[in-house]
Chains A and B, each alone.
Chain A
Amino acid sequence: MIEASVIASPILGVVFCLLHVIVSLVHTWSHLVHQIQCLIISSGLLSKYQNINLNRLRHLAVVIDSEDAKNKSKVHQLLCWLSDIGVKYVILYDIEGVMKKSDKAYEKSSANPSETKCMDFAPNMPLIFDMFGMTVEIISYTDGKEAVAKGANYLCSNYLKNQDDTLNKLGPKFTEPDISSALKAVGHDGPEPDLLLVYGPARCHLGFPAWRLRYTEIVHMGPLSSMKLSAVVKVLYDFSKKHQNYGK
C-alpha cells in the first residue's frame, strides 16, 4: 500500500500540473483572440464600434487592484479615454484607498486644472470631483461595510429618539429606502453603477460597496498595465446590447 501511494503521488502531481498547463493554454488562446478583436476595433474597420449608444450607461465603476492603482499615469489615461468616449460618471475603487491619496495628481495632470474641482481628502469618505466634464468619484474599502455600519448607527439614533412613538414600540422596522436615506445622511449615497470594469489578476470586486452592486454587470479587463482603449470600447459596445430581466 505504501509503495502504491509512493508511485501514485508523483503521477497525480504530474497530471495536476498538466491540467494547469491546459488552463494556461486556453487562457493564452483566449488572450490571442481578444488581441485580434482589439486590433480590428482599433483599425476602425467595424463601424458599429465607432458610435456606441451610451444611453443605458449612466454610471460606470472601475475596480483597480491597489498595486496597479499606484500607476497614476495609467489611471489618468483611463479617465481620459472614458471622458473621450462620453462616459458622464465614473466611480474609481481600490481596496486600500491608493487613488484617494493620489487625487491631486489627477488634478495637476489634467490639461486644464481649472476643469477639476477637488474636495479635501478624507480617508473614510468618498472623494468627488469633475474632470473633463465627467464626474469622478473615488472610493475605497471603508466606503463599503463601514459606511453601512454608519448608516445603521444613524437609523439607530433616530429610532431611539422616537422611542415613545407607538410604531416604535413594535421594534425597529426599516425598509430598503430607509437604508438608502441613511446612507445619504452619512455621506455615502453614491449611485449604483450599471457596469463595473475590474483591472487586476482576478474577476473579484474586492469589497466594492455591496449596497451599490445589485444589478451591476461585472467584466474582468486583466491587468491595468496592459489596458487598451479598444478593449474598453468593446466592453461598452457589448454592454449597450445587454438586456436585463430584473428577476422577471
Chain B
Amino acid sequence: MDKNDKSMITKAIGHVSFVMRKCLFSILSIGPVPAHIAFIMDGNRRYAKRHALHQDSTNPGSGHRVGFKCLISTLQYCYEMGVKYVTVYAFSIDNFKRDPQEVQSLMDLMKEKIDELLTEDSVLKKFDARINFWGDLQLLSEPVRLTAKKAMDMTVHNKGPVLSVCVAYTSTNEITHAIEASVREKQENAPIEVSDLDRNMYTAGCLEPDIIIRTSGETRLSNFLLWQSDFAHLQNPNPLWPEFSLRHLVWAVLEYQNVHGYLKKRKGEIEKNK
C-alpha cells in the first residue's frame, strides 16, 4: 500500500469520525450543553512514568508533550460540541517550586506550543478561536511572555470560541490583583463592591465555568478559579490527563446535564437576592 493510499484511508477515517461525532453531539445537545468547561490537566508526569516515556535530564517534559496532544483533541471536541469557552490550568505559581530544569523545559514547551497554535492548520485557526493568557505574566521568562502577548494580539478580533490558558496563575493571586486594581480606581465615598472585584478579575467578560474537571481522580482545586466556581459542577475522573478522551468528555457532559437544573436553580436564587 503506497503513501497516497494510506493518506486517503486516514482522510476517510477522519471524515467518518467527524460525522459520527457530529451525530453524537447532536444527541447531547438535546439537553443543556455547558457554555464553559475548565480543565485542571493533572497527570502528565505520572503518565510519563507509567508508560516509561523517555524522561531524563534532557527531556523532563515528555509527559507534558503527550498532554498537549490531548489538549488539542479535547479542544476540538469541545468546540465541535458548541462549548464557547474552554479554560485550562497550564502552570500554577506554585509550580515554580519544581526542579528548575523541569520549569525551564515547561517554559520552552509553552513557547513552542503557543507558536504552533498560531499556525494555519491549528485548531485555533480552524475555529477562528481567540486565546487569552490569565495570570501574573510578569513571572514568565521574556520569550514566553512576548509569545503569549503576540498570540493574544493576533487573535483578539477572532469571533469564534475562546481558549483561556491560566499560566503563572493562582486564584488568590488573581483576587489580590483585583483588589489592587479596585483600590487604584476607587472613587471618593464609593465603597468597593463585589461587582468591582468581578470586573477586575482576569476572567472578566467570560462566563463562569459550568464544569471544572480535574483528571487523575484528585479532589482539590489547587487554587484554580476559586472565585468563579460558586456553581460549577466539580468533576474528578480517574484517567490521567493524557488518557482523557472523547468518551470521558461525553460522560462529563452527561453528568453535568443530570445536575444542571439544581445548579441553575441555586444560582438563580442567589442572583435574585443580590
On A, residues with C-beta under 8 Å from B are 12-13, 15-16, 19-20, 23, 65, 95-96, 141, 144-146, 148-149, 151-153, 155-156, 159, 171-176, 178-179, 200-207, 210-211, 213-219, 244, 246-248
Chain A to chain B contacts (Cβ below 8 Å), 8 pairs: A12-B30, A19-B27, A95-B269, A148-B179, A152-B183, A176-B172, A179-B175, A246-B97
Q: How far is the CA of A30 from the CA of B218 in the complex (A)?
A: 18
- Give how many B residues have a beta carbon under 8 Å from the other chain's beta carbons: 54
Interface pair B220/A216, CB less than 8 Å apart: yes
Q: How far is the CA of A204 from the CA of B192 in the complex (A)?
A: 27
CB distance from A141 to the nearest CB of B (A): 6
On B, residues with C-beta under 8 Å from A are 26-28, 30-31, 92-95, 97-98, 170-173, 175-176, 179-180, 182-184, 186, 191-194, 196-197, 219-223, 226-227, 229-235, 251, 254-255, 257-259, 262-263, 266, 269-270
Interface pair B230/A23, CB less than 8 Å apart: no
A16-B28, A23-B254, A202-B233 known; A248-B183 Cβ under 8 A:
no
- CB contacts (< 8 Å) of A141 on chain B: these are 270
Given A23-B258, A206-B231: 12 more A-B contacts, CB < 8 Å: A12-B30, A15-B27, A16-B28, A23-B254, A171-B180, A202-B263, A203-B235, A214-B170, A215-B222, A217-B220, A218-B219, A248-B94
Interface pair A156/B194, CB less than 8 Å apart: no
Interface pair A211/B172, CB less than 8 Å apart: yes
A16-B27, A153-B191, A218-B221 known; A213-B226 Cβ under 8 A:
yes
- CB contacts (< 8 Å) of B229 on chain A: these are 205, 210
Q: How far is the CA of A145 from the CA of B179 in the complex (A)?
A: 12
The answer, among B95, B192, B269, for a CB contact under 8 Å with A156, is B192
Closest 8 pairs between A and B when the two form their complex, measured CB to CB: A247-B94, A210-B226, A202-B259, A207-B230, A172-B183, A16-B30, A152-B192, A152-B179
Interface pair A173/B180, CB less than 8 Å apart: yes
Interface pair B194/A16, CB less than 8 Å apart: no
Interface pair A213/B219, CB less than 8 Å apart: no
- CB contacts (< 8 Å) of B28 on chain A: these are 16, 19
CB distance from A149 to the nearest CB of B (A): 5
